Structure 1
Amino acid sequence: MGMLRHKNIKIFLNYWLGPVIFIWLIWSIYNQVRNQPDLASSAESILSALSGSAAWKFWTVIALMFVNWGLESIKWKVLHESFHHMSRLRALKAVLAGVAFAINTPNRIGEYGGRVLYLPEGKRLQSVSLTIIGSYSQLMITMLAGTTGMWLLYSGSLAVHVPETWGSFVLWMRILCILLTTITLLLLLVYLRISWMVRLIERLPGVEKWGKALIVIDHLPVTILLRVLGWSLLRYVVFLFQYILLLQCFGVTNDSWTASWLISIQFVVLAIIPTIALAEVGIRGKLALELFGWISANQVGIISAAVSLWLVNLVVPALIGSLLIMRIKIFTDRVPQEK
């Protein structure tokens, strides 16, 4: 009787969980997009950008969406090279499925659960730890760029018109820059010496059951970590280029130098603040208005750029990932074939 019940649960999870998750994700995305207060004011601007004289910039941003997630899939594949072979297509499917799960969870933690569905049952726990390393590498690049942007802002190297009250925050700004620099350097040291951290964690009581996951990280060579960091840097450059194109497309600014460092500050703030991806657009909009308001009075353009980047890089990939989830079998009796 117990075996029959267990088999029925497996059948349900394999054949019905995917469609249920798909319907839930679609409904959640629809409600969040519909209820965004800034979306209505920028919808007309976004539609006009698709057919205006600068339309090629918007379509380039859409094309770069595939480059963005393609780079992420390569990074994920590189991390798994010595652990489990997979094709680039399968890695891309896993990444998109991760976006679908991540979009409704705090700080996109659901991303790990979505990706591991494309791996055999016996290797999913180890994959979670590798996925965390991939996210850590992206955070490292975000911290490095954001900290540099903060120092440039503090030193007055950026062509911005800060509020008159800015002078009273100079000391706090310096403290923040020093704090961010210290944290970034420490994070970089931990990343490049991750095996040391693993060995320290292994000495703690009660972590024996995580042995397989920790061994995978412990065996990662520095060369792999540097390659992953390089792919993260390329992906970050794509992010920047997309955002700069959108700011130009909506007539916010043509000063790419200043815009790129303000974007880096925005990204590091978003990385630090706990948030849910679907609700993130509101925070993005407010933060963008504050930062880009120093170089432009075009508030509609600023909001349109922030909303467009959110739609292109998160909502559209999440919809694609939701469709892919419908075909996933949670439990398998054999290693899935590469497709």
Structure 2
Amino acid sequence: MRITSHKANQFFSLVLKILVVLAAVSFIWYRVTRDESMDFDRFVDILDRYRIFSYTNILILVLFSIANWYFEILKWQTLSSHVRDNSFMRSMRESLASFTAAIFTPSRIGEYGAKCLYYVRAEWRKIIFLNFLGNTAQLFATYFFGIAGLLFIITSVDLALPVFNIILVSGLLFVPFMAYFVMKKFKIRLKGYSIQRLEESFHKVSEEIRWKTLIFASIRFIIFTHQFYFLLLQFQVDVSYPLLIAAVFSTYILASIIPTMIIFDAFIKGGFAVWIFGLLQVPQIIVLTIVLTVWILNFGLPGLAGSYYVLRYKKAKHAIA
């Protein structure tokens, strides 16, 4: 009976892993070939016209993506050290596999559950919090650089913005801070968690881990925003560096205020990018092409790489006490 039950568990585990991978691959393929704002053939034609496919450009773009994910993995290795010593390779396996599981879930919820599967049940609460801490550090870096970018754009470009739009954007930017204040003031709980409890968990993590996490998150932000900037240069956008990088920073902060599935990340960023770069007279088709290219490099390819680790996942091997 136990043998039959064990085989059944193995079978259902295999089926689940295959379904996760198929879902991730299907979502990536859909994102690349069915973009409502960008015909795929036109996308390839534009990349070819501007020689984005040259060996030098491909090498530089891939190196940007590798560096981006190197620091993401390093960030998780640092955070998970609060629970156990983690090698870089094991951290890479956990990061990529959980990312694949997160592609088709709202606000990357799947990432939390997938990372837990690599740890014993007694550590799951800590892992969920550490993953939350890592994502919060990334959001903080986005807000820090993004607000600086928005302020630079506002003071450097003559914007004809209706008062309603200014109030709406300002309100959205401050929503996280207002939510934090309200939840703490009235002791509101979200799925059993309160701000006070989160703060207690935060202070239990060593200061060294917290600072390293924030530094790695900031480095990541600088890397993938400059990958965007590099593509702007390849598309011969003739605008000064300060204005271009401020526009990139602004795009990322505006996109970050709308929770969504990773698969729709390019669509959300594309909408904000078209608006922001339109102020600098950058053609819409170039902006959309760059957004989709960056999505493929930093989301699509890592998602496919993570599929390998999802299929190879074995609980007994990875859930180490």
TM-score normalised by length of structure 1 = 0.79
- Post-superposition offset of 1:323: 1.7
2: distance between equivalents of 1:226 and 1:258?
Answer: 29
Does structure 2 conserve the Cα–Cα contact (< 8 Å) formed by 1:106 and 1:276?
A: yes
1: distance between equivalents of 2:165 and 2:203?
Answer: 39
- Post-superposition offset of 1:328: 0.2
Distance 1:317 1:253, change over 3 A: farther
- Post-superposition offset of 1:252: 2.8
2: distance between equivalents of 1:63 and 1:320?
Answer: 16
Alignment match, 2:124: 124
2: distance between equivalents of 1:97 and 1:310?
Answer: 18
Alignment match, 1:246: 231
Alignment match, 2:23: 24
Does structure 2 conserve the Cα–Cα contact (< 8 Å) formed by 1:252 and 1:296?
A: no
Alignment match, 1:277: 262
- Post-superposition offset of 1:258: 0.9
Distance 1:144 1:174, change over 3 A: farther
Distance 1:185 1:334, change over 3 A: closer
- Post-superposition offset of 1:265: 1.4
1:92 aligns with 2:85: no
2: distance between equivalents of 1:179 and 1:28?
Answer: 28
Distance 1:33 1:238, change over 3 A: same
Alignment match, 1:43: 44
2: distance between equivalents of 1:291 and 1:124?
Answer: 41
Distance 1:179 1:285, change over 3 A: closer
Distance 1:186 1:213, change over 3 A: closer
1: distance between equivalents of 2:246 and 2:217?
Answer: 17
- Post-superposition offset of 1:270: 1.2
- Post-superposition offset of 1:233: 0.7
Alignment match, 1:194: none
Distance 1:246 1:73, change over 3 A: same
Does structure 1 conserve the Cα–Cα contact (< 8 Å) formed by 2:152 and 2:243?
A: no
2: distance between equivalents of 1:29 and 1:17?
Answer: 18
1: distance between equivalents of 2:175 and 2:318?
Answer: 47
- Post-superposition offset of 1:149: 2.0
Does structure 2 conserve the Cα–Cα contact (< 8 Å) formed by 1:95 and 1:115?
A: yes
- Post-superposition offset of 1:23: 2.2
1: distance between equivalents of 2:7 and 2:312?
Answer: 18
- Post-superposition offset of 1:291: 0.9
Q: Which runs of 5+ in 2 are unaligned?
A: none
Does structure 2 conserve the Cα–Cα contact (< 8 Å) formed by 1:106 and 1:277?
A: yes
2: distance between equivalents of 1:68 and 1:271?
Answer: 17
- Post-superposition offset of 1:25: 1.9
1: distance between equivalents of 2:137 and 2:47?
Answer: 32
- Post-superposition offset of 1:92: 1.2
Q: Which runs of 5+ in 1 are unaligned?
A: 190-196
Letter in 1 for 2:232: L
1:311 aligns with 2:311: no
Distance 1:47 1:173, change over 3 A: same
Alignment match, 1:228: 213
Q: 2:250 aligns with which of 245, 252, 265?
A: 265
Alignment match, 1:192: none
- Post-superposition offset of 1:115: 2.7
SS in 1 for 2:119: coil
Distance 1:141 1:121, change over 3 A: same
TM-score normalised by length of structure 2 = 0.83
SS in 1 for 2:289: helix
2: distance between equivalents of 1:22 and 1:334?
Answer: 19
Alignment match, 1:173: 166
- Post-superposition offset of 1:111: 1.7
Alignment match, 2:149: 149
The number of equivalent residue pairs is 312
Alignment match, 1:109: 109
1: distance between equivalents of 2:130 and 2:312?
Answer: 24
Distance 1:161 1:315, change over 3 A: farther
- Post-superposition offset of 1:39: 4.0
Does structure 2 conserve the Cα–Cα contact (< 8 Å) formed by 1:129 and 1:214?
A: no
